[in-house]
Amino acid sequence: MEEDLREMATRLHAAAIHLLRTLRREDDGSGLSAPRLSALSVLVFGGPMSLADLAAAEQVRPPTMSRIVDALLDAGLVTRQPAPGDRRSVRIEATTEGRAVMETGRERRVRALRERVGRLSGSERRALARGVEILERVVR
């Protein structure tokens, strides 16, 4: 069991690195890096929020997220407005274009995975889906 865990941690680590390197090439096509798309995704699905909330959701420090938001702002994908009720805080929100770009970014990643996942059997695919679900809980 201990050895299993050691092995799994190593393999999970390697697999995650390789997965992201593969997908990053696809994401390049959208003109958005993985962290930017990921942050945008949080905004699209989670709704408007402050910078601190967004940074926490992405498990990143505020300065890092501030710069990511700058880039999304330049690209016209989000808006940054003073938060009502607390003028220190900002309210970051995805624009309509932001939603559209998020969607096509996702399409690209799906396309990159489809062929590979398509080679799996039905039960393997289900097992992968379940693994991802559990991984989400472990990581969160």
Partner DNA sequence: GGAAACTGTTAGCACAGCTAATCATAGGCG
Partner DNA sequence: CGCCTATGATTAGCTGTGCTAACAGTTTCC
- Binding region for DNA (CB under 7 A): 17, 21, 33, 35-36, 50-53, 58-64, 66-71, 80, 83, 85-90
Distance CA 79, CA 56 (A): 19
The values of phi and psi at residue 133, to 5°, are -60, -45
The item of DNA, its own copies, none sharing an interface with residue 116, based on CB under 5 to 8 Å by kind, is its own copies
Interface segment toward its own copies; rule CB under 8 A; list 69-77, 80-88, 91-99, 115-123: 115-123
Contacts with its own copies: how many residues (CB under 8 A)?
Answer: 50
Sites for its own copies among residues 27-86 (CB under 8 A): 34-35, 38, 41, 58-60
Measuring CA to CA, how many Å separate 113 from each of 14, 89, 110, 125, 136?
17, 39, 5, 12, 18
The item of DNA, its own copies, none sharing an interface with residue 56, based on CB under 5 to 8 Å by kind, is none
Distance CA 81, CA 58 (A): 20
Please give the structure tokens belonging to residue 102. 């998020």
Distance CA 108, CA 49 (A): 26
Query: Mapping DSSP to helix (H, G, I), strand (E, B) and coil, where does residue 140 land?
Result: coil
The item of its own copies, DNA, none sharing an interface with residue 62, based on CB under 5 to 8 Å by kind, is DNA
Return residues touching its own copies (CB under 8 A). 4-6, 8-23, 34-35, 38, 41, 58-60, 106-107, 109-110, 113-114, 116-117, 120, 124, 127-140
